[in-house]
């Protein structure tokens, strides 16, 4: 099978999985087996693309012509592979987790849940492997729509309100900012293909470049750049597996992935640096990082605190991309991976606590580390990784971003990173402290169901493994940065 066919297959597998899941809807065990089989198949397909992509091949496949002169097309390049690899790897783990969570909490509409989940992964693969801006935009919008039923899964008034915020921010930004940006690019460049060095390189004046960049950056609402971040905490009404995979991995990573992709392949790092059109972006990202950390500090609801932590961490990636130096771009790509593994662990923990102890507030977590040692151990690992302490993967990406900061001599960025590290510690470590050193309260309980514990242990172990063996993601990240 040719590489291009493999890329098409990667896109087709999740959608074929939907059919299997729906067909097996009445038999939960069969249905979950179908999800697992789909996830594992996808994982191996994506993995099998790695050697060729690393060797410099860029498999291309055209689905069909969508608009005159504009195809719906796929192309696998290093950054996209990295995103697809994260999404497919963590889909496997989170499927195990979902089974434990959905059954443990006796949630309804499980067939719809698994089907939409598969559709969301399919859309994420479409974004990752998009061969041009139009394809990326199509799957970006699809991702918003297929995750809406997941966010509003409970179907109550709170879900409906959360869903409204979710949709209005994501659809609103993409219609009002992103779509005109795409059309403008098409009119200016006569093409929408991603190009090494930048599709728009040499075609823009500095003023228009800044406006177009702003349309893209605020248009990609999934990157949660302030002031368009409120959908992310609103989406926390979803069941926790959704928050974990979609709002730590697929959806938000689709956002920052698109940001990096636009900066690197639409504007071009060097040409944007020459135009000086990204300085404001550094400032906005720095503000987002610090402000979101401050909000996280005050949040008592654990998922809300994690959501604002995500807003802040996404800011890291946008910040790194805005620095426009090779090391910072590599850092941005690496932080996609690092944050995904660390944050999904933390969300898994939040869901495990909810399932085992029915607790949702930070203030209720006194002494919980004694009752759920595995779970809180994993939480500690995830938190330390995000603060940026070895031996966890967070320090690797932070190291690259900091080097990029020095390379770019951007002291705003440096100050924001420093402040945010302190704030990260300030909002994560008290939880760890309370969990281990305070007396437990309330009814005694044990660990969450086994599949959930296995899942969160695996992702926590992943953060260590990626610190010890960062070779593969590092190779891809350096390839993105052209190093």
Kindly state the smallest distance separating residue 117's Cβ from another protein, in Å: 18
Cβ contacts of 223 within 8 Å, gap of 6 or more: 217, 252, 255, 256, 258, 259, 314, 317, 318
Comparison of 153 and 398: residue with beta carbon closer to another protein: 153
Comparison of 91 and 140: residue with beta carbon closer to another protein: 140
Closest to 29 (Cα-Cα) out of 112, 111, 90: 111
Kindly state the smallest distance separating residue 400's Cβ from another protein, in Å: 34
Residues paired with 291 in a beta bridge: none
Comparison of 51 and 68: residue with beta carbon closer to another protein: 68
Comparison of 137 and 347: residue with beta carbon closer to another protein: 137
222 within 8 A of 258, measured Cβ to Cβ: yes
Query: Phi, psi at residue 298, to the nearest 5°?
Result: -90, -10
Comparison of 168 and 403: residue with beta carbon closer to another protein: 168
Comparison of 33 and 203: residue with beta carbon closer to another protein: 203
Kindly state the smallest distance separating residue 209's Cβ from another protein, in Å: 16
Kindly state the smallest distance separating residue 126's Cβ from another protein, in Å: 11
d(CA 24, CA 14): 15
Kindly state the smallest distance separating residue 212's Cβ from another protein, in Å: 12
Residues that bind another protein (CB under 8 A): 64-68, 72, 134, 137-138, 141-142, 145, 152, 155, 159-160, 164, 167-168, 171-172, 175-176, 179-180, 183-184, 186-187
Comparison of 149 and 388: residue with beta carbon closer to another protein: 149
Rg (alpha carbons) of the chain, rounded to whole number: 21
Comparison of 189 and 416: residue with beta carbon closer to another protein: 189
Comparison of 204 and 334: residue with beta carbon closer to another protein: 204
Kindly state the smallest distance separating residue 155's Cβ from another protein, in Å: 6
Kindly state the smallest distance separating residue 18's Cβ from another protein, in Å: 13
Closest to 345 (Cα-Cα) out of 458, 423, 265, 425: 458
Kindly state the smallest distance separating residue 140's Cβ from another protein, in Å: 9
Comparison of 66 and 472: residue with beta carbon closer to another protein: 66
Kindly state the smallest distance separating residue 156's Cβ from another protein, in Å: 8
Comparison of 181 and 324: residue with beta carbon closer to another protein: 181
Kindly state the smallest distance separating residue 91's Cβ from another protein, in Å: 22
């Amino acid at each position: 099978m040719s590489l291009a066919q493999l890329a098409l297959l990667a896109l087709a597998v999740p959608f074929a999985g939907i059919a299997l899941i729906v067909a097996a809807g009445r038999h939960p065990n069969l249905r979950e087996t179908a999800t697992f089989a789909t996830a594992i198949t996808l994982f191996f397909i994506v993995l099998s693309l790695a050697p060729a992509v690393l060797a410099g091949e860029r498999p291309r496949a055209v689905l069909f012509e969508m608009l005159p002169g504009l195809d719906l097309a796929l192309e696998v390049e290093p950054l996209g592979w990295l995103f697809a690899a994260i999404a497919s790897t963590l889909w496997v783990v989170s499927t195990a987790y979902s089974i434990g969570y959905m059954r443990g909490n006796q949630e309804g509409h499980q067939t719809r849940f698994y089907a939409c989940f598969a559709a969301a992964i399919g859309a994420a693969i479409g974004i990752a492997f998009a061969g041009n801006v139009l394809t990326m935009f199509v799957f970006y919008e699809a991702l918003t729509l297929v995750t809406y039923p997941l966010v509003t899964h409970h179907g109550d008034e709170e879900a409906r309100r959360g869903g409204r915020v979710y949709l209005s921010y994501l659809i609103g930004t993409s219609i009002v900012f992103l779509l005109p940006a795409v059309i403008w690019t098409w009119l200016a460049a006569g093409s929408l293909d991603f190009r090494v060095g930048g599709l728009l390189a040499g075609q823009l004046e500095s003023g228009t470049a800044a406006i177009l960049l702003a349309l893209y950056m605020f248009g990609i609402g999934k990157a949660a750049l302030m002031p368009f971040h409120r959908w992310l905490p609103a989406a926390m009404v979803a069941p926790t597996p959704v928050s974990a995979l979609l709002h730590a991995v697929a959806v938000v990573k689709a956002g920052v992935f698109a940001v990096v992709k636009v900066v690197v392949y639409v504007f071009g790092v060097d040409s944007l640096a020459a135009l000086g059109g990204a300085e404001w972006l550094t400032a906005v990202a720095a503000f987002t990082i610090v402000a979101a950390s401050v909000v996280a500090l005050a949040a008592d609801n654990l998922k809300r605190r994690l959501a604002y932590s995500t807003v802040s961490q996404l800011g890291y990636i946008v910040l790194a991309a805005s620095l426009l130096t090779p090391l910072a771009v590599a850092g941005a790509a690496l932080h996609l991976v690092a944050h995904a593994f660390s944050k999904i662990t933390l969300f898994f923990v939040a869901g495990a606590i909810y399932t085992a102890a029915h607790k949702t507030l930070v203030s209720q977590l006194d002494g919980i580390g004694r009752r759920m040692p595995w779970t809180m151990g994993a939480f500690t690992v995830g938190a330390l990784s995000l603060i940026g302490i070895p031996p966890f993967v967070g320090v690797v990406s932070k190291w690259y971003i900091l080097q990029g900061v020095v390379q770019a001599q951007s002291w705003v960025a440096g100050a924001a990173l420093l402040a945010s590290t302190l704030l990260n510690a300030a909002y994560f470590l008290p939880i760890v402290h309370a969990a281990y050193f305070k007396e437990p309260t309330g009814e005694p309980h044990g660990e969450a169901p086994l599949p959930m514990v296995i899942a969160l242990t695996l992702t926590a172990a992943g953060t260590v493994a990626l610190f010890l063996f960062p070779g593969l993601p590092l190779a891809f990240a350096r390839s993105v940065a052209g190093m």
